[in-house]
Structure 1
Amino acid sequence: MNAPMPSFVRGLVTRLRRRGLPLGVDDCAALRTALAAGHGLESTEALRDLCITLWAKSPRDAELIGAALHLADPPAWVVSPVARSAGVQADPPAPVAAPSEPGPAADPVPITPVPSAELAIVRPPRPADVTEPPRSGIPSPFLVLRPQYPVSEREVAQIWRRLRRPVRQGPPTELDLDATLDRYARTGVVTSPVLVPPRANTARLLLLVDRDGSMTPYHGLVDHVVSSIVRAGRLDAITVAYFRNTPGRSLDRSALAALPGTVTAELDPILDRIPALGTGRVYRDPAMLTPWPVADLLDAVTGGSAVVVISDAGALRGSFVMTRLFDTVALLLAVVARGAAVAWLNPVDADRWPDTTAGQIARHVPMYPLTRDGMYGAVDALRGHPVPVERPL
């Protein structure tokens, strides 16, 4: 007999799904099977550890499950000895003795046998005159409100794990079935199998993150996305660098003088005259305390690398700055010259990009909103899928 599902599990699953943990029927079935096998029956803490083992895919998932289970307020477990030892029937309760006084015999109290895998959940009664104990004033980690972002850590990890460059490297340890059968068909002799090195993901990712200024309202979301990619992206190398507005200032802006006399926001007439950015500095930390020369950063960018810029590019304030556009295009030219793929993630909605620096940058490189669908599009662009761009670099 399957162990019954505790009554509070449904509310627990609903709460976790609302917080981005995609639990389904299979996860509930796994919990039921584990309870039927005798796991998680010793105490409420054992049930919590069981749920974390079955459902958590990251440390944040484990924290989320522990907090949600604490908020579900599960009552104390009362487990019959039969449920603890599979296959052993419980001894029936002793019959109620008849009264020793003379008189009519009392009806025996009906006894309901406990099923072999029954799990009862009870809450100890509280006397009416007992009040709640005074609070200690120490905050509980389970009651601290956590920010809820449009994409969960698991969704970010699943999206960026699609960025792959599988290359076979290392000692030959995997069977090449086709080569083994082909050699047997050609020679007719059964020999040792053909082994090949395993595939490894050699994708390299550079994240250039705009910091402070108009990006200040998005610090929480950007940090959440960046940390999720770093922790669970499963890429060969992930580098994160921070900058303010632009990573550097072009030393030669003389090409701007060749633009037509009329006011224009496009760099198309001088696009082939913009020198690639080779100077400037970025920072290794979000506080921007540890400088990092742009030249050294770009030396690590090679063919096949993926470069993602996370910035609003003036879209939040609706501003257009020609020098900022010039310096940004110079940086993108330096990246493209090294054979890397580029994508841009903008935390501001796309309907606010026109007539801003972001709108002009989107004419040269693929730009997507910092959403779930936007990150899927950025990963597809980095993987080489054709993306229509008005004036590619």
Structure 2
Amino acid sequence: MSGGATPGPAPPLAAEELPLFELFQDLREAGLSLGTRDYLELLRALRMGEGLDDTRALLRLCQLLWTGTREESRLLERLFDRTVEAAARRMRPAPEPAAVAPEPAPPPPASAAGSPAAPPPAAAPAVGAAPAAPAATEARPPPRGRALELALAMLRGAPGEVEPTALRRALPDEYLPVSPRQMRQAWRRLRRMERRGPRTEPDVDATLAQIARDGVFLGPALVARRTNVERLLLLVDRHGSMTPFQVLTRRLVETARRGGRLAHVGVWYFDNTPLELDAGLAVHREGAGGELVLLRDVLSAGPRAVTGALVVSDAGAARRAYSTERIEATGRFLGELRAQLRRVAWINPVPRHRWPGTSAQAVRAVIPMFEADRAGLDAALRVLRGRRPHPHGGP
């Protein structure tokens, strides 16, 4: 029996070391509805040796487990090629330093006649013999070996050692009541289309009317492109009782900016309620220690005013507290909003059944308030579009 110590279990992988995690996250950011179960299915398949025959087999495995349409399959293929190329670059060895030229050899000793000895003649190849082959270079691995190398380079560890805690850190939005994809879909329904800018699109009706009037086609009539002119204001409660919901609020902000296709998204923060100054209510800019700006200046900033505001706060429901002071401060806050905006809605990350008996119940009586799930977000955005919310998401 060997006296060596038994090796302990391999340490769990960090989030950035998860197998094919970069590809998985790219797909999620592109809108594919993928969760932890889909990711674990890939790990099980890799442990069984599936997808390691060549890079195309690995691609087909990912397509089989992670896509459901041709469009999704083509998107995965583009992202997969980029991921494999990045892995190949990491595997390339660093260039060796240039070899130092050897010092010249000392001259050979003189012969007895005083002249330098001639070097021995090189042996001539035998007649009919093949010429000497050049120095052998390192052979490239066969396709299967290369694919296996790339796959293992992307694995960077034993898939069986991936702990659920690592997945929770890497995929925090998997446990949200509304997924980022659903958020993006909801934001895209918040739109007010107008034709603005240079005339670049052909107008078929105007072109036909011009031909009928002039009797000749002189060129297409052009109109400006239709664009979304909706300008949204996000007012987000942070710190304190809202700390556990920071992942949710961050996802709401990110999806509104990157996937909402809105003309403008202004994001401002407050703690419980906007700060009351002598000059008026003030909110914080983004970032730690963001400067204070008066709310009325935020509402009127820019060439075009904001068209709607969405408040994200627990309104005291997280601590199950009823505070008259907070209710009054929130009333002043909403009064200033409604003095300049017709469309204001409220998203509460605390479930509805915990609102009764808290400040949230009083706030809900004066503003449409919804849960932070898919139905609630859809209902809140219907209010911002000037419509009544559906019954299942109504206040």
Q: TM-score, normalised on structure 1?
A: 0.56
What is residue 164 of structure 1 aligned with on the other side? 191
What is residue 279 of structure 1 aligned with on the other side? 280
1:289, CA displacement in angstroms?
4.2
Q: 1-side partners of 2:272 and 2:33: how far apart?
A: 37
SS of the aligned residue for 1:242 comes to strand
Range with bigger deviation, 41-50 or 199-208: 41-50
Q: 2-side partners of 1:306 and 1:372: how far apart?
A: 19
SS of the aligned residue for 1:355 comes to coil
What is residue 194 of structure 1 aligned with on the other side? 221
Letter in 1 for 2:255: S
What is residue 21 of structure 1 aligned with on the other side? 32
Relative distance call for 1:58 and 1:342 in structure 2 (3 A) is farther
Task: Please identify which structure carries the higher helix content.
Answer: 2
CA contact under 8 A between 2:231 and 2:265: conserved in structure 1?
A: yes
1:212 aligns with 2:239: yes
Relative distance call for 1:48 and 1:229 in structure 2 (3 A) is farther
**Identity in percent:** 38
1:356, CA displacement in angstroms?
2.2
Letter in 1 for 2:252: V
Relative distance call for 1:369 and 1:288 in structure 2 (3 A) is farther
Relative distance call for 1:42 and 1:217 in structure 2 (3 A) is same
What is residue 330 of structure 1 aligned with on the other side? 332
Output one character per residue of 1:265-315: Cα deviation in whole Å (capped at 9) or x when no partner.
xxxxxxxxxxxxx61322223544433333432332865612110001011
Superposed, 1:213-232 pairs within 5 Å as 213-232=240-259
What is residue 351 of structure 2 aligned with on the other side? 349
Q: 2-side partners of 1:174 and 1:134: how far apart?
A: 53
1:47 aligns with 2:59: yes
Q: 2-side partners of 1:208 and 1:359: how far apart?
A: 19
Q: 1-side partners of 2:264 and 2:185: how far apart?
A: 17
SS of the aligned residue for 1:198 comes to strand
Q: TM-score, normalised on structure 2?
A: 0.56
1:388, CA displacement in angstroms?
9.7
Relative distance call for 1:42 and 1:174 in structure 2 (3 A) is farther
Deviating runs (4+, > 6 A) in structure 1?
A: 56-59
SS of the aligned residue for 1:380 comes to helix
Relative distance call for 1:340 and 1:182 in structure 2 (3 A) is same
Letter in 1 for 2:321: S
Q: 1-side partners of 2:230 and 2:75: how far apart?
A: 22
Q: 1-side partners of 2:251 and 2:291: how far apart?
A: 21
Relative distance call for 1:173 and 1:339 in structure 2 (3 A) is same
Relative distance call for 1:384 and 1:304 in structure 2 (3 A) is farther
Q: 2-side partners of 1:332 and 1:211: how far apart?
A: 18
Letter in 1 for 2:59: L
Letter in 2 for 1:192: G
Q: 1-side partners of 2:243 and 2:71: how far apart?
A: 38
Q: Larger C-alpha radius of gyration, 1 or 2?
A: 2
Relative distance call for 1:240 and 1:183 in structure 2 (3 A) is same
Relative distance call for 1:356 and 1:235 in structure 2 (3 A) is same
1:197, CA displacement in angstroms?
0.6
**How many matched pairs?**
267
Relative distance call for 1:237 and 1:348 in structure 2 (3 A) is same
Structure 1 gaps, min length 5: 1-11, 24-40, 71-118, 125-132, 252-277
What is residue 171 of structure 2 aligned with on the other side? 146
Q: 2-side partners of 1:145 and 1:339: how far apart?
A: 39
RMSD of the alignment, in Å?
Answer: 4.5
